[in-house]
Amino acid sequence: EVQLVESGGGLAHSGESLRLSCAASGFTITNEWMYWIRQAPGKGLEYVANINKDGSEKYYVDSVRGRFTIARDNAKNSLYLQMNSLRVEDTALYYCVTGGGRLWGQGTVVIVSS
């Protein structure tokens, strides 16, 4: 079955760190740009970061640049998001998504408390 499975979400205090992982199965991510997209409670969908096929290009939304790092390991068919200096406003459901939004995971919840 073709799927993306996120993990690593949870509860953190402001200023702490979390690392999200996304494991792909049923297909290879090698040929895909990959994204992290989030949805905060009561808010719309927001792109967080994306990474090109070989990991040489990375883009971040302004609100996370300098705090979050997107990475991939094509050999492990996996995507990651290192989230440092977390803020309350980072609280959201985080999705791992293939390029153009073709395939979405089920999401992992991140809650940041003050």
Partner 1 sequence: DVVLTQSPLSLPVTLGQPASISCRSSQSLVHSNGHTYLNWFQRRPGQSPRRLIYEISNRDSGVPDRFSGSGSGTDFTLKISRVEAEDVGVYYCMQHSHWPHTFGQGTNLEIK
- Is 8 among the residues that bind partner 1 (CB under 8 A)? no
- Is 40 among the residues that bind partner 1 (CB under 8 A)? no
- Is 27 among the residues that bind partner 1 (CB under 8 A)? no
Side-chain half-sphere exposure of 16, counting CA atoms within 13 A: 15
The token duo for 113 is 């408390």
**CA dihedral sign of residues 49, 34, 110, 21:** negative
- Is 42 among the residues that bind partner 1 (CB under 8 A)? no
The token duo for 28 is 């290879």
- Is 1 among the residues that bind partner 1 (CB under 8 A)? no
Q: Which stretch binds partner 1 (CB under 8 A): 12-20, 21-29, 39-47, 78-86?
A: 39-47
- Is 36 among the residues that bind partner 1 (CB under 8 A)? no
- Decide: 105 and 35 in contact? Cβ < 8 Å: no
- Residues that bind partner 1 (rule: CB under 8 A) add up to a total of 17
Beta strands at 78-83 and 92-98: parallel, antiparallel or unpaired:
unpaired
Residues that bind partner 1 (CB under 8 A): 35, 44-47, 50, 59, 61-62, 95, 100-102, 104-107
